[in-house]
A and B are shown apart, each in its own frame.
Chain A
Amino acid sequence: MGVELATDRPGFYEMVDVDVSDSELVYHVRDALKSVSQGDSDHYNQLIAVMHYTGRLAPDEVAMLVTSLKALSGSISYIDIIHHESLLSSIFGMSMWNYGPDVMDALVELIISLAASNGKFVDSCLDMLVRNFMPPKSYLDLLGHPRGLARKHEVLDRVHSALSHIADLVPLAPMRLTPIILQRMPHMFDKEALIVIYVESMLLLESSALGELVGSTMLMALVDRLIDLDVEISWDDIIHEDSGKGIFDMELEDVDDIIDHAEIDGFEHPRGTAGSQILGTNAVADKLDSLMVLICEHLKSCADGERLTKVFETLLQSFWVTVLNAYKSKFSQFVMFYACSLDPEHCGERFAVFLADIFVCRTHPALTRMSAVAYLASYLSRGKFLPLSLIASTLKRLVDWCLEYCHVQNGEEKTINLEAHRVFYSGCQAIMYVLCFRMRSMMDSHRLKSQLLHMPLEPIFCHQLDPLKVCLPSIVEEFLRQAKAAHLFTVSETFLFNNLLESDLSKAFGGMERLDMFFPFDPCLLKKCDRFIRPSFVYWSMVKTTYDDGEDCSSEEDINEYFDGNGKSYMESGITRSLDEHDLDLDEFEYQLNKMSITPRNSLKNGLIFKLENPFRMPARIRPSTSPESL
């Protein structure tokens, strides 16, 4: 029994000057705990008071807290879940962010012992640790400072090692951990810093030893969260449906330039709002952006650690369940794009084959198949890292499927029910879209050229179902133009579309969801994660078309010139369909372009109407207008 000195200050350890051994303290605590059930709670309450020390603690307070925690660790079997409820709730309510390393260590030791000693405490202990993934709200601002960062590392190191210790002692703990983590995940309308720091811990868990057990759930929950945020960004902020601009218009390649213009205008936009010119709901877009950056960084580290193939399977599963059928996901799919770019041989190919399998499989719903082929077409066109052989073989698969479909249709119908054949039309459009991007490269390769020339494209496109009339006009036109230049096949009718971005026919097969206009891997508009995507992305301006004869050298130069040391690409003369043209400062455009002195000023002022035969179609890159358009 401890000796109680008569002092004025009521404290738990009143023998401050007396050298007390650890075991005596432990007995003291045990007595305090035991006496609660007998009705005497004085010492017990004093113990609870120690747990509630807050703010900047004096050294002796710290010492008291540490010794109390250690003594509690030694009296685990005396802690009763009912009698000592208030003590337990005090302990579980403690945030490690408020204390120094000594207290953190003692607290963690106590939590681990509690979890291992009694099954009833496991959930609460895990919950306490998961809550410590995030700092108290007041601490969030400090995270930017070095002191805050140091504290963050101190806390998270201990939290994660505690989780792994508990998993060692209680093998079924990871099973209980997963629902707790999912439950405690910050809501998507919470502060960005909070979401980011929580997701960091989730990804840490995925790569830790526990990752074997909880990793896939973490990733799937993250992709779900990406889609939740994605869906909150409305399409109206990005696209104007009546803009009348072609699919192959200039694309916004460098978001930096837009932001620079905003600053030149004379007023500084804070970092987030510069994006508001492009995306209306910038807060949500920023959150999505930050999360995607985190995931991309994590994927990179997985690739470095040679775990990517396994992680990719989980991602693929998640994509299939969540992203594929989400109504026109905007940016979340770039996570898949980046993962594929990290390992083109396995992941890159796997993704293409996966999408093609869904398209050809009859048991999937039509919308899923159409969505899959839209993803496939966009992916094959935009993936710089994809070998041409893969693109060719996948194309062949699509072509074979379409051909077989054509054979099955006997041609008895006078009027074609477009909706009934929508999967076919989406397949045809996909083929055309991919060939718009890749035809030139395929023709340049001897082997693939012969493969391409042997593909039965003519029977498909000239079939009674008439995909050339039904599919999106801008794609059809570009495709035909390139096909003619490459002498792929002869088309007797001339297809003239006057300023048609879409036709009623394509709308019919695209359905309410407008899957005829779904190009999922169009340039990513999120600024921060764009740097992961850009190196492996094919912009339309980079594409050499089959009618680009004699311009090879100059176009090469052009490209080199335009990617200067700053990494800024040249500003094309067009406005992308991502921007409302009135928002843009045309003067700045002109300034940039005149610097390069390529296109006459007039063209710009007229709102991008070129003196060409096909007024609506923009050339893919800036060229002197005297270049012959050979058709």
Chain B
Amino acid sequence: MEGLNVADANLAVYIHPSKAGKVSQAILRQLSTLLFKYIEVFDGVVLAYDVTFRDKNAKVLPGINSYFGVKLKAKMLLFSPKPDMLLEGKVVKLGKEALHVIVLGFSSACIAEEDIREEFHYRIKHGEEVFASTSHRRHVIKVGSMITFSVKSFDEEILHISGSLIPENTGSTKWLHKHVEEGSIVERSIKKQKQKDDRSKMQEHCTGILDNAGLSLNAEDQPKKTKSQRII
């Protein structure tokens, strides 16, 4: 899935003096306020962080409340979906007009009817509402299935994604995965065959050449060598 990346950050967290006895707790608490929020500086939604202290000393700020700044190194897991990225999510609601998906358990995504390609038709199969593909019988999207979709837009405030199933490589993740795999197996087998053929052809060719080469070599070598050193 695209859109997830790990970033290294140098941070400074300013802590109130009353927390001086429990610095780690204060830092973690401060950082946890960043979770599941879009932070402009990082250009992404912070999902997780891992912190190490950069410096044992912290600078105390001048002023009435003498906050002190602890310098940290953090590894942050960021989620920053950009348009045309491919994301995976679970379908939670399926209707004729829209598909509602949840990505990574916290971000809601909506795919409107006009963003679902012609291939998929809304059907009711066995009492269940589904989007079924007309070209591939087994390609079906229903409530609970994981789908891959492309991002149209991302609302940073509520972390809502507007998605699209128009590109060809979108749809039910399971089906796509299998389909691609199968495709590659076929390709590989073709390739292998091709390679085999080539090799055998080459071998014939080579042996031919070799033979000729060998002969010619011998022939060539001969004049170089003295009569007495003729290689037989």
Residues of A participating in the B interface, judged by any CB pair closer than 8 Å: 26, 73-77, 113, 116-120, 122, 168-172, 175-176
Contact = CB atoms under 8 A, between A and B. Distances in A.
A113 B157 CA distance: 19
Contacts of A113: 95, 97-98
Contact of B113 (A77, A122, A170, A172): A77
A118 B108 CA distance: 9
A23 to B, nearest CB: 8
Contacts of A77: 97-98, 112-114
A116 B93 contact: yes
A221 to B, nearest CB: 20
Contacts of B49: none
Interface of B: 36, 92-93, 95-98, 100, 102, 105-108, 110, 112-114, 155, 157-160, 162
Given A76-B98, A77-B98, A170-B160, A118 B110 contact: yes
B98 A169 contact: no
Contacts of A169: 92-93, 100, 102, 108
A171 B162 CA distance: 15
Contacts of B93: 116, 169
Contacts of B107: 171-172
Contacts of A116: 93, 98, 100, 108, 110
A120 B93 CA distance: 19
Contacts of A75: 97
In order of increasing CB-CB distance, the 5 nearest A-B pairs are: A119-B160, A119-B158, A119-B155, A77-B112, A170-B108
5 contacts: A118-B155, A122-B158, A172-B36, A172-B107, A172-B108
Given A77-B112, A116-B108, A172 B98 contact: no
Residue among A171, A175, A176 with the most chain B CB within 10 A?
A: A171
Nearest to A73: B97
A361 to B, nearest CB: 14
Nearest to A176: B158
A74 B97 CA distance: 6
B158 A170 contact: yes
A363 to B, nearest CB: 10
A341 to B, nearest CB: 34
A77 B152 CA distance: 14
Contacts of A120: 155, 158
Residue among A26, A119, A122, A171 with the most chain B CB within 10 A?
A: A119
A140 B118 CA distance: 52
A122 B159 CA distance: 11
Given A77-B97, A77-B113, A171 B105 contact: yes
B19 to A, nearest CB: 13
Given A75-B97, A169-B93, A172-B159, A117 B112 contact: yes
A119 B97 contact: no
Contacts of B106: 171-172
B105 A117 contact: no
Nearest to B36: A172
A31 to B, nearest CB: 14
Given A116-B110, A120-B158, A122-B158, 17 more contacts: A74-B96, A76-B98, A77-B98, A77-B113, A113-B98, A117-B100, A118-B155, A119-B157, A119-B160, A120-B155, A122-B160, A168-B92, A169-B100, A170-B108, A171-B106, A172-B106, A175-B36
B111 to A, nearest CB: 10
A119 B159 CA distance: 7
Contacts of B102: 169, 171
A169 B107 CA distance: 9
Contacts of B159: 119, 172
A363 B100 CA distance: 52
Contacts of A172: 36, 106-108, 158-159
A85 B113 CA distance: 23
A171 B36 CA distance: 11
A117 B110 contact: yes
Contacts of B96: 74
A175 B159 CA distance: 12
Contacts of B108: 116, 119, 169-172
Contacts of A171: 102, 105-108
A168 B93 CA distance: 9
A75 B100 CA distance: 15
Contacts of B157: 119
Contacts of A74: 96-97
A119 B153 CA distance: 11
A169 to B, nearest CB: 5
Residue among B96, B105, B108, B110 with the most chain A CB within 10 A?
A: B108
A117 B98 contact: yes
Residue among A116, A120, A169 with the most chain B CB within 10 A?
A: A116
Contacts of A122: 158, 160
Nearest to A165: B93
Residue among B36, B97, B159 with the most chain A CB within 10 A?
A: B97
Contacts of A170: 108, 158, 160
A218 B92 CA distance: 28
A126 B36 CA distance: 20
Contacts of B113: 77
A47 B113 CA distance: 22
A175 B110 CA distance: 19
Nearest to B162: A118
B160 A118 contact: yes
A172 B161 CA distance: 13
A293 B114 CA distance: 53
A173 to B, nearest CB: 8
Contacts of B92: 168-169
A175 B36 CA distance: 11
Contacts of B95: 113
A219 to B, nearest CB: 21
B158 A76 contact: no
A435 B171 CA distance: 75
A118 B95 CA distance: 15
Contacts of A168: 92
Contacts of B36: 172, 175
A126 B95 CA distance: 21
Nearest to B154: A119
A171 B90 CA distance: 13
Nearest to A116: B100
Contacts of B162: 118
